[in-house]
Structure 1
Amino acid sequence: MLVRIVKMSFSENSINNFLNTFESNKNKIKNFKGCQLLELYRDKKDPTIFFTYSYWDSESDLEQYRQSELFKTVWSQTKPLFNAKPEAWSVDKIESLK
């Protein structure tokens, strides 16, 4: 299982635009081939910082998403809203306790 973590920072006046974009596209992303989970988090201390966690069956599934029209559309709407360069990590899930 591949986990993709993306940290994004927005100016305060762009947050609603970001949240609207996420709301409009979250089910499309979650239903993309190979996506098992999509989560959105907001930093407790800095409400302008958000994280997405997405779980993918494989690196190739994530790459297919990143090359898709869906990603290009979402990213083109989100990218202008950033107030800092986004950071992203692809990590292997080793263990999960519930």
Structure 2
Amino acid sequence: MAYLLIRQKFAEYTRWREAFDSLAQQRDALGLETVAVTTNTSDPSEAVVLFRFDDIEQLRKHFPSPELKEAWRRGGVIEGSNQVTFLQEVVPPAETG
């Protein structure tokens, strides 16, 4: 299973969340499943979002799309704060008896 972790700072949560929610159809079309939308307890002006996905090539086309950049602007994302990390679940090797 593959995951995408996004961290970004914003000026105001409600504005950020509206912009995030406006991209729901685009995320669905890319096969992104939202696992968690959170804020950092140490820094409440930072969103931390985890997605699950199957096709990394589809995602690479999306980052950063003009629509995504526009949503970041509308949402008050602080320029330069985006951190995008692709994660791969590691399945432990089968134990041998």
Normalization by structure 1: what TM-score? Answer: 0.70
Q: Which has the greater radius of gyration?
A: 2
Report which of the two has the higher share of helix.
Answer: 1
Identity of aligned residues (%): 10
Q: Which runs of 5+ in 2 are unaligned?
A: 92-97
Match of 2:21 in 1: 23
Unaligned runs of 5+ in 1: none
Distance 2:89 2:59 in 1: 15
- How many residue pairs were aligned? 88
- Equivalent position of 1:88 in the other structure: 84
CA distance in 1, matches of 2:27, 2:84: 18
Report the aligned-residue RMSD: 2.3
Contact 2:37 2:50 in 1 (8 A): yes
Separation in structure 1 between the aligned mates of residue 59 and residue 45 of structure 2, nearest angstrom: 26
The separation in 1 between residues aligned to 2:68 and 2:55, in whole angstroms, is: 21
